[in-house]
Amino acid sequence: MVGNNEKKLLITGGAGFIGSALIRQLMSRTNFRVLNLDKLTYAANPKALVEVETNPNYQFKAVDICDQQALINAFNDFKPDAVIHLAAESHVDRSIECADEFIQTNIQGCYLLLQTSLDYWRQLNERQKSDFRFLYVSTDEVFGDIDENAKACDEQAAYAPSSPYSASKAAADHLVKAWHKTYKLPILITHCSNNYGPFQDCEKLIPKLISLGLEGKPLPLYGQGDQIRDWIYVEDHVSGLIKVLEYGQVGESYNIGGDCQITNLEVAKSVCRLLNTMVQKPHEYAGRFEQLVTFVADRPGHDKRYAINTNKIELNLQWQRKQDFQSGLEKTVKWYMEHL
């Protein structure tokens, strides 16, 4: 992928939170042509792509990745130089309530996309085969719960998923690696920590806290809110994806994180502090949003801590974050206040 700024990228799940941020960044910073395949589930947000809809380098097709014939048609029509696979069911709570869609989309869908990509790749000429990439976007949750004092997970850490969601992502990770080792499909894998930023669905923690706070409703935190997560601003994540796509070594995995390990309670307090400064009376909780923080029964199998080491992408690919947690959160709270 290095050095060619006019590649054709087939992106799955491009109407989702991370996918739409990736497409916006690609359209504004590169000459890549993008075909976005998205099923348009509840988590999709077409409004996040309004600014790119008229870009001649962008096109969209409503496609379920579990529909192999639709995938084959898309590959044959578009003839991509690379695939970035983001489409996934991703909400842990939903996976606990009903795992079926997670198994179908995250495992079966990944398999069908891999097989379609392999069949397509095999008929390319040698130069095209060498240039082709299949980038699979995974999660730090595949590494499971790690002790509070343990070192952050590097790319060689053992997999130990806890939830149906993380187990389905781990299974797909193994499929991607197998298609590389067995069939030589040129793959790349990324593992990212918790994302936040504009256009994220309000079922996720940070937009949930902001939206409920603005409504003056309780801000629920599982247990005592002491679960530790690493947070990364979504624009930094997608810049890392582009860097891996262009410069990553085939067959390798790269962690993309925010170097920001904080508890969910600290996240809630940070949101409340920003709301305290940004929201004026007559809002009932202006200046005292922290009073809305409420602790609720913990969810089953809730991991205490995730943490990933990002030395590899920083040293080998010269990737750097542009936002720290405070600056990214300020942008995020301001955006939701203007758009809710």
* Sheet containing strand 194-196, strands side by side: 194-196, 228-233, 261-263
* Separation of CA 175 from chain center: 19
**pTM of the prediction?**
0.97
Q: Which of 165, 196, 233, 285 is an active site residue?
A: 165
**165 is known as an active-site residue:** yes
**148 is known as an active-site residue:** no
**141 is known as an active-site residue:** yes
Q: Which of 38, 64, 81, 140 is an active site residue?
A: 140
- Domains of the chain, with CATH numbers? 8-200+233-259+307-322 (3.40.50.720)
Helix 234-247 / helix 17-29 crossing angle, nearest 10 deg: 60
Contact by Cβ (8 Å): 46, 40: yes
Strands 261-263 and 228-233: antiparallel
Q: Token pair for residue 62? A: 């409503």
Separation CA 47–CA 207 (nearest Å): 16
Contact by Cβ (8 Å): 187, 114: no
Q: Which of 141, 173, 246, 303 is an active site residue?
A: 141
Which secondary structure element, helix H or strand E, spans residue 12, and what is its range? strand 8-12
Q: In tens digits, what is the pLDDT along the chain, a chain of 340 residues?
A: 544 568 999 999 999 999 999 999 999 999 999 999 999 999 999 999 999 999 999 999 999 999 999 999 999 999 999 999 999 999 899 999 999 999 999 999 999 999 999 999 999 999 999 999 999 999 999 999 999 999 999 999 999 999 999 999 999 999 999 999 999 999 999 999 999 999 999 999 999 999 999 999 999 999 999 999 999 999 999 999 999 999 999 999 999 999 999 999 999 999 999 999 999 999 999 999 999 999 999 999 999 999 999 999 999 999 999 999 999 999 999 999 999 9
Contact by Cβ (8 Å): 213, 289: yes
* Residue whose token pair is 């044959």: 76
Q: Is 308 helix (H, G, I), strand (E, B) or coil?
A: strand
